[in-house]
Amino acid sequence: MTENAIAVSGLVKSFGAKRALDGFDLTVRTGEVHGFLGPNGAGKSTTIRVLLGLLRADAGDVRLLGGDPWRDAVALHRRLAYVPGEVNLWPNLSGGESIDVLGRLRGGLDPARRDALVERFELDPRIKGRAYSKGNRQKVALVAALAADVELLLMDEPTSGLDPLMEAVFQQVVQEAAADGRTVLLSSHILAEVEALCRRVTIIRQGRAVQSGSLEELRSLTRTTVTAGLRDADEAERTLATLDGVHHVQRDDGHLTVDVDTASLNDVLARLTGFGVRSLTAHPPTLEDLFLREYSDELATLGVEGSR
Amino acid sequence: MSTLVDTELSGTRGLVRVALRLDRWRTVVWAVAVAGLTQVSVSAITELYSTPESRAGRAQLISSPAATALAGPGYGLDDYTVGAMTANELGLWIMVPVGIMALLTVTRHLRAAEEDGRLELVRSAPVGRDAPVVAGLAAAVVATLAVGVLTFLALLTTELDAVGSAALVGGVVMVGLVFAGVSAVTSQLTAHGRTASSLAMAVLGVAFLLRAVGDVRGPESTSVLTWLSPFGWAQATRAYVDERFWPLAIGVVAAALLVGGAFWLAGRRDLGTGLLAERLGRPRATDRLTGMFALTLRRQLGAIVSWGAGIVLSGALIGLLAGELVDYVDDEPQLAQMFPDGPGGVIASAFALYTVFLAVMAAAYASTAVGAARSEELVTRGALVLAGPVSRTRWLGSQVGLAGLAAAVIMLLTGLVMGLTANASLGSDGHLAELVGASAVTLPAIGCVLGLAVVVLGVAPRAFGLVWAYVTYVGVVGLFGGLLPDGSDVLSPFTYTPQLPAEAMDWPPVLLLTVAAAALISAGLAAFRRRDVVG
């Protein structure tokens, strides 16, 4: 039993001249649901394909469930299941047949679990692969993976074709898997989904991990937005602007909005009471804020005003 | 470019341009290939049958039922000119591929585009319901006409006359138009491009059979069955004998009716659906569908059966024609002199040649099966399976193993059927073992072609087109090796296969080819283990 289900360091993978992964690090602890964030083309799928032993790493150290994903692929695959983002099924097999054939390649599925999942995802297993919509093809892959008795689930944008109802079912099923002690690596760009399911996340950008840690840790690295209705807003504005760790001071009549570094939060709140607080709201940064912060320069290039 | 009044045809011009642009190279290749092969075949006939006596002998051979089924209604058999021979024996073999080309073009533009969602994007623009149908048909019509015009020009370079060539090519073009119409209709019936083209191919098969049975029962287009088939209409033009053009009008009217029907059907269905409901499958897999091999068999069964049926039936025809060939040689003392072993020697050479031809077909099937493994990888179904506890060797090995096994079964069955039919038509009983043996001895060479395809898949999967080029090369040197410069056949494994039953059995090359096949397959599997899985 190793503590980390996945341990990647300094991973490099190039396709011709393009460096898809450029010294990428990733640690996923056993039993956690780990969010893997990044826009299209950042290297999420490449990472997962290296973890599956489908691609060979050019450099770096990759350990998966204590083994080498390239060398020990078959043995490791008995202990994991994979849901791709783009699912293609055999056109002349029904969805139910595809689930069974994939399950039997790993020695059989628990029929009760399979049927329960088919029902929960409202999948009609009789439809032929060529006739399914994208969302339904994804459900087939989800059922096949979740019905397997495995320690680790590798999911590459598994919900990109699901409707909100099915998204809710998906979140519930992943929570159950986590409660059973299974480890999940969830690549996604649906931030709300990651925020709901994952305690720890890794943000990838241009083939490198730019942030990694628990959501709490990451939040503490960034700022809390505090809005206060004040009796003496003028004076408060002047005072707060001089403090370290306070940014983006904005006045709107009797309301003052500031972004506060985590370290200065206590100090700022203590001082505010001196200006007659009538109302107070504070939001911790959302995952979206964290994410967009990492991409603020790219957003600027795209002409989108960056978040704080 | 936009019209003032928006109709169901709005946007047609733009879509036609896109369709033609997408198809330009495909069309050029088809036109050059059909025209080129027609020209070469006519030149070969002209040279081979240079005397009236030889042509009269040929006329007698071709009037047998088995030969008629694969030729035509037999106009001008009493004065069998090169033109009459071309129309009677070659015409059908120009029409069939052009019909297939036309129907595939239409399903590609109509159904396949709708299936992968492209048509939805197009239809959301100010484009009428009928515009994509018109564009797909226009692409097929342009391709058919391009093939027709180039083939006509190619025929003018031979000694054949222009009027007869116009009748022959007119028939070819008409067949193309009819099957474009057939496929426009089948494209409305089902939601899937593959099913739509399979249905249209089935119609083509029925048309082929109707003409074959019709012509066998009533020569010179006197059977009703012949007149139910577009091939029958095309051949009823009596090209190079006593031309008449009105049968072509039947085809044009039929094509117009089919196209009208397609538009009518298109107006009665939703985008993305077919008029025939998709059949449901099993909610769970039967016990037999367990493991890589069973999965591959399920995927490949259709291809195995259709390739197998084609190859085995060709073997049966060759066996049946053997009797006619003996009569022909007996009637032609000069010909018999060319073969010191007499008719038996002619038959043995013919069997040896055709066995190689059929073996190349089996090798072509095996290569398509490896190509199918490549497609599995590209559409990410490979990753879905390889992410499970399935090794690369098991994944690819099962597919290669099934390809080899299926090719071997097809070949042995072909030998069996060819032997039985040859015994029947020659009235002897010595050919069964002989032809099963001749078929079996080609298996190592088939394995070498298969092995080469596996090596390309393992080492340079993007260059898989090379495999088709190689299979074509093997086919050409196998059939025409004698006419080509010396040494041009050194790269074909069939060159080293003993030409049974014309030659004696020779074990060393067969064993060497077996070793080579095993080495190639192992090397390909090993290379596949070492490379990245794409897709």
**Where do the structural domains in chain B lie, given as residue ranges?**
26-266, 292-530
The Cα–Cα gap between B62 and B279 comes to 45
Domain with CATH 3.30.70.920 in chain A: 223-284
* pLDDT band of B333, cuts 50, 70, 90: low
Confirm if B99 and B80 have CB atoms less than 8 A apart. Answer: no
The Cα–Cα gap between A182 and A195 comes to 18
A136-140, A267-271, B216-220: least confident range: B216-220
Helix axes A111-120, A164-179, angle to 10 degrees: 150
Asked if residue A306 has pLDDT above 50, the reply is no
Q: Do A96 and B285 touch (CB under 8 A)?
A: yes
Closest CA to A46 of A83, A17, A20, A9: A20
Which CATH architecture is the domain A223-284 placed in?
A: 2-Layer Sandwich (3.30)
Beta-carbon neighbour count of residue A252 at 10 Å? 10
- Mean pLDDT, chain A, rounded, equals 90
The residue type at B147? V
* Chain B residues with beta carbon closer than 8 angstroms to that of A54: 383, 386-387, 532-533
Asked if residue B228 has pLDDT above 90, the reply is yes
Helix (H, G, I), strand (E, B) or coil at B50: coil
Give the mean pLDDT of A118-137.
92
Q: Do B280 and A81 touch (CB under 8 A)?
A: no
Asked if residue A220 has pLDDT above 80, the reply is no
Question: Where are the alpha helices (H) located in chain A, listed in sequence order?
Answer: 44-51, 73-77, 95-105, 111-120, 134-146, 164-179, 191-197, 215-220, 233-241, 265-272, 287-294, 296-301
Give the mean pLDDT of B137-156.
93
Residue of A nearest to B301 (CA): A92
A28-32, B78-82, B269-273: least confident range: B269-273
Asked if residue A141 has pLDDT above 50, the reply is yes
How distant is the Cα of B382 from the closest Cα of chain A, in angstroms?
10
Does A126 reach chain B within 8 Å, measured CB to CB? yes
Give the mean pLDDT of A37-60.
93
Q: Do B191 and A131 touch (CB under 8 A)?
A: yes
Higher pLDDT pick, B201 / B267: B201
Residue B1 confidence (pLDDT): 44
Asked if residue B368 has pLDDT above 50, the reply is yes
How distant is the Cα of A54 from the closest Cα of chain B, in angstroms?
5
Residue B367 confidence (pLDDT): 95
* Chain B residues with beta carbon closer than 8 angstroms to that of A75: 389
Q: Do B533 and A87 touch (CB under 8 A)?
A: no
Give the best residue of B284, B289, B462, B529 to mutate against chain A (max A CB count within 10 A). B284
Does A107 reach chain B within 8 Å, measured CB to CB? yes
What is the percentage of chain B residues whose pLDDT exceeds 70? 93
Whose structure tokens read 């006359």?
B161
Of A92, A94, A130, the CB nearest to B283: A94
pLDDT in tens, A144-161: 999 999 999 999 999 988
Of B280, B282, B388, the CB nearest to A77: B388
* Chain B residues with beta carbon closer than 8 angstroms to that of A73: 386, 391-392
Residue B232 confidence (pLDDT): 93
The Cα–Cα gap between B159 and B162 comes to 9
Of A80, A84, A97, the CB nearest to B380: A84
Beta-carbon neighbour count of residue B454 at 10 Å? 30
Helix axes B343-378, B292-331, angle to 10 degrees: 160
Residue A219 confidence (pLDDT): 78
Give the mean pLDDT of B48-73.
83
Confirm if B219 and B143 have CB atoms less than 8 A apart. Answer: no
Residue B516 confidence (pLDDT): 98
Does A116 reach chain B within 8 Å, measured CB to CB? no
How distant is the Cα of B306 from the closest Cα of chain A, in angstroms?
16
* Chain B residues with beta carbon closer than 8 angstroms to that of A106: 388-389
- Mean pLDDT, chain B, rounded, equals 88
Of B278, B290, B391, the CB nearest to A74: B391
* pLDDT band of A41, cuts 50, 70, 90: confident
The residue type at B18? V
The Cα–Cα gap between B331 and B41 comes to 25
Of A54, A97, A130, the CB nearest to B383: A54
Q: Taking the mean position of all CA atoms in its chain, how far away is CA A150? A: 20
Does A94 reach chain B within 8 Å, measured CB to CB? yes
Sign of CA dihedral B295, B298, B303, B305: positive
Give the best residue of B276, B304, B384 to mutate against chain A (max A CB count within 10 A). B384
Asked if residue B329 has pLDDT above 90, the reply is no
* pLDDT band of B3, cuts 50, 70, 90: very low
Higher pLDDT pick, B117 / A81: A81
Mark residue B454 as left, alpha or beta (left: phi above 0; alpha: psi -120 to 50; beta: remaining).
Answer: alpha
Residue B249 confidence (pLDDT): 95
Residue B334 confidence (pLDDT): 63
Does A86 reach chain B within 8 Å, measured CB to CB? yes
Give the mean pLDDT of B407-419.
97
Whose structure tokens read 């470019």?
B1
How distant is the Cα of B399 from the closest Cα of chain A, in angstroms?
15
Residue B2 confidence (pLDDT): 44
Higher pLDDT pick, B535 / B522: B522
What is the percentage of chain B residues whose pLDDT exceeds 90? 53
- Domain A4-218: homologous superfamily in CATH: P-loop containing nucleotide triphosphate hydrolases (3.40.50.300)
Does A137 reach chain B within 8 Å, measured CB to CB? no
* pLDDT band of B338, cuts 50, 70, 90: low
As a whole number of angstroms, the longest Cα–Cα distance in chain B is 79
Q: Phi first, then psi: give them for residue A9, nearest 5 degrees.
A: -140, 135
How distant is the Cα of B443 from the closest Cα of chain A, in angstroms?
30
Give the mean pLDDT of B235-245.
91
Give the mean pLDDT of B105-109.
88
Give the mean pLDDT of A25-50.
93
The Cα–Cα gap between A244 and B389 comes to 56
User: What residues have CB less than 8 Å from B86, skipping those under 6 apart?
Assistant: B41, B42, B45, B160, B168, B239, B240
Q: Taking the mean position of all CA atoms in its chain, how far away is CA B339? A: 32
* pLDDT band of B273, cuts 50, 70, 90: low
The Cα–Cα gap between A72 and A79 comes to 11
Closest CA to B251 of B224, B225, B238, B232: B232
Residue B324 confidence (pLDDT): 76
Mark residue A212 as left, alpha or beta (left: phi above 0; alpha: psi -120 to 50; beta: remaining).
Answer: beta
Give the mean pLDDT of B218-239.
90
* Chain A residues with beta carbon closer than 8 angstroms to that of B303: none
* pLDDT band of A98, cuts 50, 70, 90: very high
Burial of B22 (0-12, 13-18, 19+ CB in 10 A): middle
Asked if residue A137 has pLDDT above 90, the reply is yes
Confirm if B471 and B363 have CB atoms less than 8 A apart. Answer: yes
* pLDDT band of B310, cuts 50, 70, 90: confident
Count Cβ–Cβ pairs < 8 Å, chain A vs chain B: 120
Residue B340 confidence (pLDDT): 63
How distant is the Cα of B404 from the closest Cα of chain A, in angstroms?
22
* pLDDT band of B463, cuts 50, 70, 90: very high
Asked if residue B272 has pLDDT above 70, the reply is no
- Find the chain B residues whose C-beta atoms sit closer than 8 A to any C-beta of A: 115, 191-192, 194, 278-285, 289-292, 294-295, 298-299, 302, 379-381, 383-392, 530-533
Residue of B nearest to A45 (CA): B535
Asked if residue A120 has pLDDT above 60, the reply is yes
Highest mean pLDDT among A258-272, B92-106, B507-521: B507-521
User: What residues have CB less than 8 Å from A286, skipping those under 6 apart?
Assistant: A191, A195
Give the mean pLDDT of B210-234.
89
How distant is the Cα of A288 from the closest Cα of chain B, in angstroms?
30
Q: Do A77 and B278 touch (CB under 8 A)?
A: no
Does A71 reach chain B within 8 Å, measured CB to CB? no
* pLDDT band of A171, cuts 50, 70, 90: very high
Domain with CATH 3.40.50.300 in chain A: 4-218
Closest CA to B446 of B368, B526, B342, B529: B368
Of A54, A56, A75, the CB nearest to B386: A54
Whose structure tokens read 């995952």?
A287
How distant is the Cα of B329 from the closest Cα of chain A, in angstroms?
50
